[in-house]
Amino acid sequence: MKFFQPRRKILDLTLIFLLGSLVSLPAFDQTTIEMDEFNAAYFQYGEMKDTDSAVAREAARRAYELGKNLFGAASERSAMLAVNYATLLENESDARIYLDEAVEIYQLVFGFESRSMITPLIGLGLRLSERAQSNLSEEYYSRALRLSERHLGPDASESGYIELELGALQLKAGRLESSWGHLQNARRILSNYSDSGSKSGLTRAYLLTGEYYLAVNDYRAAIEPLLLSLKDFSSYPSANITVRNHVDLIKAYENLNESENATFHCLAIGSTRRLAEDENLKPVFRVPVAGMKKENSVKGVKVYFTVNSKGYAVDPLIRDQIGNDKLRDELIDTIKNFRFAPRFLAGKAVDSPGQYFEF
């Protein structure tokens, strides 16, 4: 399920960056053997890119080299193949060589600094962010934003979309000040448009704004934007982004000592989960052990408890001998401050005895 998409004309063009399975590419004067080799390499890349990066990387390299001979070094298809290979390279400087090659091809095809370059640059940013190559992703998004502002205007919805992506990347990297500027620009721009892409982008901007406030420990300020984003995301209760929104609100309320408000969101998460009968529940909110220094961290100690129907850990106990009563008490008190998404049976939240958390 996708909750934010750029405007349709951007989506249609960026599909070439999202190819993950074999596509039919027309032959010109290539031999059947050459095309068969290319197809085999490209198919293997598509099949393995999310499961075995080493195999996919080698397949992408072969497809890239074969494709350049088949389609020409200045073909859009060759640019796409260079991007596929670059996004699987672990060394950023090596990846940049192939990405720059792709950009040079696009500039030959669309024109240097042209409006048409916005879409391939967005596509590069998207692919690189999906592969957690945030520095390179930010670079190409920034180039796309500059062209979007020049050709479409700083208040164009495309500019708002790129601002949003830059804000998300910088927030994840902990560059909070610059992230804030991009997120506020995205909210201002996207709020002026009524198309579905801009509306869902604005929803995501609210979520990221709330997460910015969490990052700076302003828990009260985080609640309003997080509730605004949840208003839309709640139409998809089991989606990962909706669960993430609930977890963010739990964090905000718990840090404000408003546990009853957090309970609603614990229940909302629990109601969407399908758990095995003996599955151990994982905390949706946890706190560090009070007074515990990093060098004295405890490992391998299990605390057993019941998760009640409201997502609290009750009746905690430690069965192992740890030889430190103070530490034992601190671990017990810590678990009492954890929150869980309770198990649901027949549509009703129930207690789950026999749960444990291992520090």
Q: How far is CA 335 from CA 169, 234, 273, 276, 326, in A?
A: 33, 29, 22, 23, 15
Q: Which domain holds residue 300?
A: 281-359
**Which residues, other chains included, contact 283 with Cβ-Cβ below 8 Å and sequence gap of 6+?**
338, 339, 340, 357
How does pLDDT run across 22-34, given as a tens digit for each residue? Answer: 444 444 455 788 8
Whether residue 2 lies inside any domain: the answer is yes
Q: Are 98 and 88 in contact (CB under 8 A)?
A: no
CB count within 10 Å of CB 24 equals: 6
State whether 143 and 2 are in the same domain: yes
Number of domains in the chain: 2
Whether residue 88 lies inside any domain: the answer is yes
Q: Are 118 and 144 in contact (CB under 8 A)?
A: yes
261-275, 296-310, 328-342: lowest mean pLDDT where? 296-310
pLDDT category of residue 5 using cuts at 50, 70 and 90: very low
Exposed, middle or buried: residue 257 (CB in 10 Å: 0-12, 13-18, 19+)? exposed
Phi, psi of 30 (to 5 degrees): -75, 150
Domain of 299, CATH number, reads: 3.30.1150.10
Q: Give the domain-ending residue among 119, 134, 152.
A: 152
Whether residue 132 lies inside any domain: the answer is yes
Whether residue 351 lies inside any domain: the answer is yes
Whether residue 6 lies inside any domain: the answer is yes
Strand order, beta sheet including 352-358? 313-317, 302-307, 352-358
What's the CA gap between 11 and 134, in Å, rounded?
21
How does pLDDT run across 195-236, given as a tens digit for each residue? Answer: 999 999 999 999 999 999 999 999 999 999 999 999 999 999
Whether residue 64 lies inside any domain: the answer is yes
Estimate to the nearest angstrom the gap between the alpha carbon of 140 and the chain centroid.
18
More confident residue, 300 or 88: 88
Whether residue 228 lies inside any domain: the answer is no
Q: Give the domain-ending residue among 112, 130, 152.
A: 152
State whether 148 and 4 are in the same domain: yes
Nearest to 275 by CA among 303, 241, 307: 307
Confidence (pLDDT) at 256: 98
How does pLDDT run across 91-127, given as a tens digit for each residue? Answer: 999 999 999 999 999 999 999 999 999 999 999 999 9
pLDDT category of residue 15 using cuts at 50, 70 and 90: very low
State whether 1 and 148 are in the same domain: yes
Q: Give the domain-ending residue among 121, 152, 183.
A: 152
**Is the pLDDT at 21 greater than 60, yes or no?**
no
Whether residue 219 lies inside any domain: the answer is no
Q: Are 141 and 178 in contact (CB under 8 A)?
A: no
Confidence (pLDDT) at 32: 81
